[in-house]
Every structure is written in C-alpha cells, then in structure tokens.
Structure 1
C-alpha cells in the first residue's frame, strides 16, 4: 500500500514536465541541477480533508533554499495531496524553471547603501482558487502591456515600485505574493522576500485586492517573482551562516568575560573579530535584535536609518546579509541556554530601542506597549564597506 509520501512523490514525478527521478524521498531533475524535497506537514480530517505540504527547492544558483507552503481542501486524502502538489508545480516550480532557463520580464536598477545594483525579474504564472464573477475579464483588466517590458501581471504592477528598495545583495531574490478575499469581505495577504514576511508588499497587494468584487464567495491568488542580480553588480558575501554563528558566539562570550563592562568590551572586541565589516554589523545588530525579542508587543520598524561616515541611508534591516544569520544564531543560543540569561538582559539595556521605549513610557504613563513604534539607527564608521 502506498503511503501519503509515495503518492506525493509519484504525483510530482508524473506532473513535472522535465525528466526527473525519485531519489531519497526527493525529486531530482536530470536536465537541471535542482532538488525538490516535499514534506506533508498537515493532513486534517473533518468534513473535508485539509492538506498542507512544504516544498524545499535547492539549486546551485540560489543563495538560500526556496521554500513554499501549498495547502488544499478536498473530499479525500489522495485528491488533497494531488491538488497541493499541482498548485506548487504549475505556479512556483513553473516560475523557477522559466527563471533558470533565462526568461525574464522586467529589469531593475537600484542601489543598496549607495552601491549600484542591477537585476532582472522573472514572473511565475498566476494561480487562483475559488470563484469570482467574470474571471476572464478580471485577468484582462489586470494584465498590462508595456512596449519596453512586455506583459506585467497586476500583482507585479501593485508591488513593482517598492521592490527596488527591499532587494538583498543576493544572487537571487525570491518574492512571494498571496492574497485571499473571504466571503465576508475580509482580506488576507502574505508577501515574503527570501522567506521573510514583508509588510510593505502586503500593504501594496491589499490595496489592489480590496477592489475585488467577489460577490460573497472565497477567492485567492498567488504569484512568485524570481529576481537575478547581474554578474556586474553582484559581490558574494564573504562569510557563511556557520561562520557568522561563530562570530556571534565569540561576541557574547567576550561580553560575559568583561562582566558586561561595555566600554572595555568594545575596546577589545577587535582582537576577537578582526574583520571591520562584520564586527561593526554585529555590534550594531545584536543589542537591537535582543530588544525586539524582549518587547514582543512593541511595533518595530522593519527599516532602519543607516549612517556610514557622513552618508545617510534608509534600508530594510534584512538587506544586510548577516542580519538574519545573526538573529538566528543569537536567539538559538539564548533559547538553548548557551549564554547566560543575564547577558540577554544586559544586551537589551545597551540597545537604542530600549532607550526609546523607556523614554516613551516615562513621558506617557498610560501608553500601551502595542502603541509604541520604534525605529532605530545603525552607525558605521567610514571604514565600513557593505557587501
């Protein structure tokens, strides 16, 4: 008897329109160096079957693993697995294969901290679920033609002005857009860049979806954008995630060694982390990350002001390649009690965010945490070079 995993793998194997084989519970392509690892994470049986499958896609060109979650509701387990699998194949995977074959629909010129960057964008097909009146007319209205760029989906049109300001210095950036309008008119959006939720994109998509007239019926839509940085502007980040984890551990242990005497610690940290760039990033990011986890109800701006010498910028925190690596390493080590609890508290207290929250509460005794908005500034020396 076939297991759910067998059914899923066989469905992928037969529906993917490229030569592939099943190997070690994964799908491996024969013509592309691509591996898909699918995992069924939910099979909920009520009046209908709710199935959720996670897909992890690895390719040499990708800086990070591409992740997609695909859910479906059907009358039985087998049909639910097939629907979730097909939704992935005909939307996300179709876009990945177009992207890797060299197809692109748009070009982007931007800069990150004053450094020029060029990108090309490949759109995946759009996939929709549910019902909406005059669906064909709806798509015609929202697919536009531009003489320079060709056809653009309405989802791309809704986000394209913001995209240049959120791209990371990766070889490849992944953007996911998803929106659903419920029968009662409520709107749900999920937009991510490189698997991290982005509120700016979600607001852009919501402003488009609010125009839908779904006549009291459910409807959802999803599309991906695969964004390749030019060879001429791409510089590979010099450290791996594991190396960043090592630097973070050394930073906190050194902080503990000096018994939380911050001024003495800062004088000597260059003997532990010799690279100016990563040292300055860790010094800036660690206290602020701790503060965000300490004050979960406070609203933290996902963007930060950045001063490099006499130059001033504003970028997403996650546009620093090391930021998510530092966050993951820091929170994992504190969660597993590798560092002292007291260290976490001391790091929170030296953060700019803590000072902002403290002053806000001191000046307004009745304010609630969820009404406090914190925006931070990162200060770098003129020696710092963004990569």
Structure 2
C-alpha cells in the first residue's frame, strides 16, 4: 500500500503505473498490462491513461480508449478537486471507473436502453447505451434519464453513418455560475449545451455541484456502411492536400486542385472535402472568438442543397483533428496555416466587414459565421 508521503513524492509517470494497478484491482475482470496500457478482453477495450496534473488539491487524467469494435478513439478527461493530492487523484480515477467505464460495461453486455432510427444519406438503426451518472457536491436527486430526456429529440440530428458515436454530458452550478456542456465525439455542441444550461439553472443548490454522464450510439451492422479510412490515413491525405496547396500560385492551380488531389489519393469525393474543409477549419482556429454553428449547408451542383451537421459527415472531424495535430506538431500545415486562412470564406466575411463597413467583427463575441460549401454535381456525401 502506498502511504501519503510516498504518494506525494510520486512523479506523473509513476502515477500512471499506480493508476493502472488500481484499475486492475478494482475492475474484478481479467486484464492484461503492456506499455502503460491496460487491456480488458471482456470489453475488447484498451485503456491508456495519461496523468496531466496532480498537485496538492487537483488532478487531471486523460484516458484514451480503443476497441476493435469501434471506428474511433474515445477520449475522456477526468478532473477533480480534493483536500489533498491523493484524494484529488482518487476522485479523478473514480470519475472514470464509475462514469464512462460503466457505460462501456453496459455496451459489452448489450444492455441498451433504447433503439433509435436516423435517415442521414440512407436508413440507419442504432442502440443507445448510457453510463451511470457521476455526481459531486451539492446536487439535486439524480434520475437515470434526466439528461437523456433533454437531448433525446436532438441527438438523431447529429448522427451520420458512424459505427459508434459517444456523447458526453457535463453540467455544474456554483452560485450563479452555470455550466452546461454536451460533446459529441469530444466536439462541443453549443446548441445542446444551451439546453443543458437551461435545465441546470433550475437547480436549487447553495454551493458547487456537478453531474456527468455518457451516452453511446452503436449502429447495427445491418445498416452500417464502413468508412474506408481511419485517422492515420486521414493525416496522410491532409498532408497530400497541403503539399499540393503549397505549390498553388495561380487561379488555374487552385482550379486544378481537385483533379490533382483526386488522382493522388484516388478518391475525388474526399479530395473535394479536403479542399473545402481545411481552409475553414484553419479560419475557425485563427479566429476562435467567433461562433461557428455545427449546422452547415452543402450545395451539390447548382440545384441540390443539403443542411447537415458537421458531426454527420464521416470525414469532417477526422480532417479537423489531423489539421490541428499537424499545426501543433510543426508539420507543413503550420507554415501553410495563414495561406489557408486567406482563401477561406470566413476570412472573406471578416475582410469585407472591415474594408467596406469599418467593423472588426472578430472583436464581437456575438458574431456568428455560417458556411455554405460548394461541391461538384458528381460529389457523394458520406
């Protein structure tokens, strides 16, 4: 047993080892440990923790979860306060064990609570699973469906053709300060967060309190059409697109990008998405104080206009993750960042407002910029 003095002296890397051993002991499941990862065969699940912070009264642990039954990595950031370092760390660990991991257990046991159907680019059938709710502090009584009842009519609008989508709800109230957050595949959905904030504002609490819950939408194999690329492949495609874009100097160069990139990656639909999405993703990063709705319009040819949410498009958030990773880690995207912003529709709106009206809309926190994407008439949305 590690005593308080030993624990306080432990480095972050040692805390990871300590955490993995704790999880192994508390799970009461067969486990395998290798390279800072714990594998749970019954769940087909690999858990890789990364302790980001563990000071005298706060702990932050990132968990990266993988399963060969999913089509994406699941990420959970578990943060907690405590009276001392060990309690804060234990509470962050407990938030993981008694929160998201309970939902994964229900998935492994096929204990779904509802079936739903969606019609994005075809018919899709889903099973919905939920985790237990983790509550901290001064909170009202908890019911298992309290958050699902708020978001259940909206969630189908954010599902595309994924195999698995995970939804995180986190709410908190501290006096008049209210937090309502809903993330889909770790992307914050402001519209859903607003619904949760409205609910939390009705709490009759006198000090800090919070609740967290996860939902998992798992598509039936009978309606699922697997997407042909994973995140590693998408990074390579973003790099290919950036290399071609770097050489563009004339209008003809830009007009030929779809053909050049389509030939290179052998997928013209994805080539159009890379060319359309990367500039706007860069602009959103470059002007973070502007609000960018999740809903976008896609024009296919001259007549067909589709209103979709970004989370429904198979490639969108994979492209965004690859772009941000490449900028953060000094790849070619870092040098092309401002060049991409310069050709974005977002920058055009900002520039026109400043040049024609003398208004800097980047300083107005109520600014909302919606984007319409133009695709060729032969483009296929996935």
What's the TM-score bracket when you normalise by the shorter of the two chains?
0.7 to 0.9
- Change in Cα spacing, 1:53 to 1:248, as seen in structure 2 (3 Å) is closer
- Change in Cα spacing, 1:386 to 1:72, as seen in structure 2 (3 Å) is same
Give yes or no for the alignment of 1:315 onto 2:308. Answer: yes
1:287 to 274, 279, 282: 279
Give yes or no for the alignment of 1:11 onto 2:22. Answer: yes
Give yes or no for the alignment of 1:128 onto 2:135. Answer: yes
Contact 2:258 2:271 in 1 (8 A): no
1:329 is aligned to 322
Contact 2:258 2:272 in 1 (8 A): no
Give yes or no for the alignment of 1:66 onto 2:74. Answer: yes
State how far apart, in whole Å, the 2-side matches of 1:229 and 1:340 are.
Answer: 36
Contact 1:95 1:226 in 2 (8 A): yes
State how far apart, in whole Å, the 2-side matches of 1:30 and 1:285 are.
Answer: 38
Give yes or no for the alignment of 1:222 onto 2:222. Answer: no
What is the DSSP-based 3-state SS (H/G/I as helix, E as strand, rest coil) of the residue aligned with 1:385?
coil
What is the DSSP-based 3-state SS (H/G/I as helix, E as strand, rest coil) of the residue aligned with 1:204?
helix
2:52 is aligned to 41
State how far apart, in whole Å, the 2-side matches of 1:292 and 1:101 are.
Answer: 40
| CA offset digits 1:71-107 (Å, max 9, x no partner) | 2233333333322222211121011110121111122
Contact 2:326 2:334 in 1 (8 A): no
2:232 is aligned to 242
- Change in Cα spacing, 1:382 to 1:107, as seen in structure 2 (3 Å) is farther
Contact 2:58 2:89 in 1 (8 A): no
State how far apart, in whole Å, the 2-side matches of 1:331 and 1:67 are.
Answer: 16
User: Residue 201 of structure 1: CA displacement?
Assistant: 1.8
User: Residue 58 of structure 1: CA displacement?
Assistant: 1.6
What is the DSSP-based 3-state SS (H/G/I as helix, E as strand, rest coil) of the residue aligned with 2:128?
strand
User: Residue 164 of structure 1: CA displacement?
Assistant: 0.8
2:346 is aligned to 353
- Change in Cα spacing, 1:10 to 1:263, as seen in structure 2 (3 Å) is closer
State how far apart, in whole Å, the 2-side matches of 1:321 and 1:273 are.
Answer: 17
Give yes or no for the alignment of 1:169 onto 2:166. Answer: no
1:111 is aligned to 119
1:147 is aligned to none
State how far apart, in whole Å, the 1-side matches of 2:333 and 2:88 are.
Answer: 44
- Change in Cα spacing, 1:32 to 1:265, as seen in structure 2 (3 Å) is closer
In structure 2, stretches of 5+ residues that fail to align are 3-13
Contact 2:297 2:305 in 1 (8 A): yes
1:79 is aligned to 87
User: How many residues end up aligned between the 2 structures?
Assistant: 365
1:383 is aligned to 378
What is the DSSP-based 3-state SS (H/G/I as helix, E as strand, rest coil) of the residue aligned with 2:249?
coil
- Change in Cα spacing, 1:346 to 1:11, as seen in structure 2 (3 Å) is closer
- TM-score, scaled to structure 2: 0.87
